[in-house]
Amino acid sequence: MASLNVSLDERSYPIHIDSGLLSDSNLLSQYIRGKRVCIISNDVVAPLYLATIKTSLCQFEVDEIILEDGEASKNLTNFEKVMAHMLEKGHGRDSTIVALGGGVTGDLSGFAAACYQRGIDFIQIPTTLLSQVDSSVGGKTAVNHPLGKNMIGAFYQPKAVFIDLDTLITLPAREFAAGMAEVIKYGVLADREFFDWLLTNKQAIKDKDTAVLAKMIEHCCAIKADIVAKDEKESGVRAHLNLGHTFGHAIEAELGYGAWLHGEAVATGMVMASQLACDLGLVDETAVTLVTQLIEEFELPVLAPASMSVEDFVRHMRRDKKNLNGNIRLILPVKIGQCDIFDDVTQTQLAQVITSLTETQPAK
């Protein structure tokens, strides 16, 4: 089993990566201090893994909340549903929430844990590639609002993260590909050697070679853990993890949450960020081509939807959480393996890259 640590003083916690972790009752129980557990999952993941988790936690009093799958479920209505359930079942401050699912489940569960009785313990058990390499680590919790993604939330760290590689066996191809967008992101923003490793091992990744996936996931988690330890609440370097997200969140918000998967929107956003960096003279065309080709290897979109205009993008981008003093702040690569924050991109430059990387309207 691979294990690494997110170092945040008294809020530090481990990330465990292996096959068969859902059945390891001794390991799971180490991180539950009370007698009560509430498992939050969704109607796709629960039929696959809920019974296994409940068996592993049979020494505790366990109840569960099953939400609808999909990004559209990450809302205040379901947050209220979780709060009502916790109160009706009499959960106290020594209860533990277990998030069993992808990023939507983890984000909503973490936010619920942060708010219920001013904060109770929670454990992340991510079951999608995207949540394993990204959203389950770092303590960003939130729900969406029609006017913006993840605008209502809190920084709240889990007690532990359990990444069971076996859950990737049942993961649909589209979800796996979406997770690869976040994997590629780490190479572009922080590690050229890792980016090249992804190019070399792309077929083994597609074949879901367990050893290769374990190495890949561990490396992504290590990069994120290091960044989070340096900047827990995103006042500086942690913002780099949002590479591609400013464009991507605009796509998600405009189309309606769930129309595109988060990773699909981030993939297109990364291509846009890379092309904008090229337009600004920060990287050359070769870098843009390499990023685009690796994204296309996993059948991810590289063009924004034809239904979106420049005005649509800018309207949503102006609501981005990174913005300061009314300026749109963008994370752009300065080379493959390194990025920086820019807040001086002009409307003309933005419009040019959006126009050049948006699907043309179909002929009538």
Tens-digit pLDDT profile for residues 61-95: 999 999 999 999 999 999 999 999 999 999 999 99
Measured over the CA atoms of residue 127, residue 130, residue 135 and residue 141, the dihedral's sign is: negative
Q: Which of 16, 36, 149, 238 is catalytic?
A: 238
Tens-digit pLDDT profile for residues 225-264: 999 999 999 889 999 999 999 999 999 999 998 899 999 9
Annotated catalytic residue 329: no
Asked if 295 and 270 touch (Cβ cutoff 8 Å), the reply is yes
| Confidence at residue 364, expressed as pLDDT on a 0 to 100 scale | 36
Cβ contacts of 21 within 8 Å, gap of 6 or more = 1, 27, 28, 125, 162, 163, 164
Residues 326-338, mean pLDDT to the nearest whole number: 94
| Confidence at residue 363, expressed as pLDDT on a 0 to 100 scale | 40
Q: Which of 71, 175, 232, 234 is catalytic?
A: 234
Annotated catalytic residue 85: no
Annotated catalytic residue 242: yes
Confidence of residue 361 (pLDDT cuts 50, 70, 90): low
User: Judging by beta carbons within 10 Å of its beta carbon (0-12, 13-18, 19+), is residue 218 exposed, middle or buried?
Assistant: middle
Catalogue all structural domains in the chain, each as residue range(s) with its CATH number: 2-170 (3.40.50.1970), 173-356 (1.20.1090.10)
Q: For 18, list phi and psi in degrees, rounded to 5.
A: -175, 170
Confidence of residue 324 (pLDDT cuts 50, 70, 90): confident
Residues 179-183, mean pLDDT to the nearest whole number: 98
Q: Which of 74, 219, 262, 329 is catalytic?
A: 262
Annotated catalytic residue 240: no
Q: What percent of the chain has pLDDT over 90?
A: 93
Annotated catalytic residue 11: no
Please state the pTM of the whole predicted model. 0.93
Indicate if the pLDDT at residue 325 is higher than 80: no
Indicate if the pLDDT at residue 340 is higher than 80: yes
Q: Which of 16, 149, 159, 249 is catalytic?
A: 249
Confidence of residue 168 (pLDDT cuts 50, 70, 90): very high
Annotated catalytic residue 262: yes
